[in-house]
Amino acid sequence: MTTFLGLGKVLAALFWGALLANLFDSFAQPFSLLLHVLGGLILLMHGVELLLFKDCLSGCPRPWRERAQVMLFGIFHVMGMPQSQAMLAVPQEVEHA
């Protein structure tokens, strides 16, 4: 599992690197626009992940660093967090009388 998460982080970093390279020197036209749209969508998804896991991330010793890593790597970082921190994000069921 850690190999999968590490590979996902490497691929995410390569994607953000390609997006930055596209900002400085545009690729061929259909790919340039697709990369910009994909970058915006992934940034939006990572923002949603921040909202979903905000309780989990605020309990960390360095919450801003964790939030930055979620914005870069998304679910690959959240899944790699220690179990005690990740369990804070799962809502507990309320017992009814």
The 10 Å Cβ neighbour count of residue 50 is 16
The pLDDT-based confidence of 97 (bands split at 50, 70, 90) is low
| Residue 11 in tokens | 């691929």
How does residue 37 score in pLDDT terms, banded at 50, 70 and 90?
A: very high
pLDDT at 12 over 70: yes
CA angle 77, 89, 5 (to 5 degrees): 20
**Which residues are CB-contacts of 50 (< 8 A; sequence separation ≥ 6)?**
57, 67, 70, 71
Angle between helices 29-52 and 2-24 (to 10 degrees): 130
Task: Return the amino acid letter for 7.
Answer: L
Residues 40-89 pLDDT 10s: 999 999 999 999 988 888 888 888 999 999 999 999 988 888 765 544 45
Tell me the pTM.
0.73
